[in-house]
Amino acid sequence: MMSTAKPSSPEVSARMSRQANRDTKPEVAIRKLLHAAGYRYRVNERVPGMSRRTIDIAFTRAKVAVLIDGCFWHGCPLHATRPKSNAEWWRVKLERNMERDRETNEHLIGAGWTVLRFWEHEPAAGVAEQVAAAVDRERAGRRPRGGGGNG
């Protein structure tokens, strides 16, 4: 059910629209570590079959989707806050973000992807290690397509 509440002011709306939604510091740090380790990936790849949704770091052949979520916007259990001004509007907005995350996860999993979600506060080195391990697992479990192999 959608609320009829609106942002508290044009200034708040303008500030929200300026929030980085790609190439954030955590995303860039993780990508640099993965690239340095020899992993190649796509950045801000569209979610297949879902308009206006993207995967932060996508390993398309291995079908591994990496999403780095901001604590405020995605409801981190450790760091999420709820603004007191215009509280109902924010509650609806933030809950819808979390619902959209669940929908995206379910869609990708249903399409055969491995979905890895991390919080922006998680150390980049640990995230990169987990991503690399998942990509390696998926690559090992999938048969090469096209030519090659001793079939």
pLDDT tens for 12-22 read: 445 444 455 67
135 found inside a domain? yes
132 found inside a domain? yes
**Which of 40-44, 69-73, 100-104 has the least mean pLDDT?**
69-73
86 found inside a domain? yes
As a dihedral over the C-alpha atoms of residue 119, residue 102, residue 135, residue 125, rounded to 10 degrees, the angle is 0
Q: What is the mean pLDDT of residues 49-54?
A: 93
Reported as a single tens digit per residue, the pLDDT across 22-38 is: 789 999 999 999 999 99
Question: What is the C-alpha to C-alpha distance for residues 129 and 27, in angstroms, rounded to an integer?
Answer: 14
Which backbone phi and psi does 79 adopt, to 5 degrees?
A: -125, 0
How would residue 46 be classed by pLDDT, with cut points 50, 70 and 90? very high
How would residue 135 be classed by pLDDT, with cut points 50, 70 and 90? very high
4 found inside a domain? no
Domain of 111 in residue numbering reads as: 21-140
| Residue 101 belongs to domain with CATH number | 3.40.960.10
The total domain count for the chain is: 1
Higher pLDDT: 83 or 73? It is 73
**Which has the closest alpha carbon to 48: 62, 63, 70?**
63
104 found inside a domain? yes
**Which has the closest alpha carbon to 49: 106, 131, 134?**
106
Percent of the chain with pLDDT over 70: 79
109 found inside a domain? yes
